[in-house]
Amino acid sequence: MLRITRTVNGQVVFRVSGQLTAENVAEMAALIAAEGKGRRIVLDCSDLRSVDGEAVKFLEKWEADSIKLKDCGLYIREWIKRERRERKSGKGSMTDIGTNWKEPRSKK
């Protein structure tokens, strides 16, 4: 399940919570597109718990298009870096094999 909360304070912040997957990437893309060009957009990923390959492609693309990814989990950040390197080198990517990762829960 995905939950998206929008706030505006000089920039548009979408707080993304839960699971970002191929099934709901289009919804997130539509929200971003609706903001129009020239607006500063931030995706707050602090509550994002799992992503799949399509979501990583989405995050990598939008970050390359100047959308700030705030508080991404380390595994998401590493996956985005790997996706970017593989895209630039022309090789197949990890997302092509349909991998799906979940954020490990921290022990308190």
The ranges assigned to domains in the chain are 2-101
CB atoms under 10 Å from CB of 48, counted, come to 23
Task: Select from 84, 40, 36, 34 the least CA-distant residue to 58.
Answer: 84
The confidence band for 37, taking pLDDT boundaries of 50, 70 and 90, is confident
Half-sphere exposure of 53 (CA within 13 A, CB side): 8
Does domain 2-101 fall into CATH 3.30.420.40?
no
Instruction: Say what the pLDDT of residue 103 is.
Output: 52
Angle (CA) 81 85 87, round 5°: 115
The predicted-structure confidence for 50-96, as pLDDT tens digits, reads as follows 999 999 999 999 999 899 999 999 999 999 999 999 888 886 554 44
Instruction: Say what the pLDDT of residue 90 is.
Output: 82
Instruction: Say what the pLDDT of residue 108 is.
Output: 46
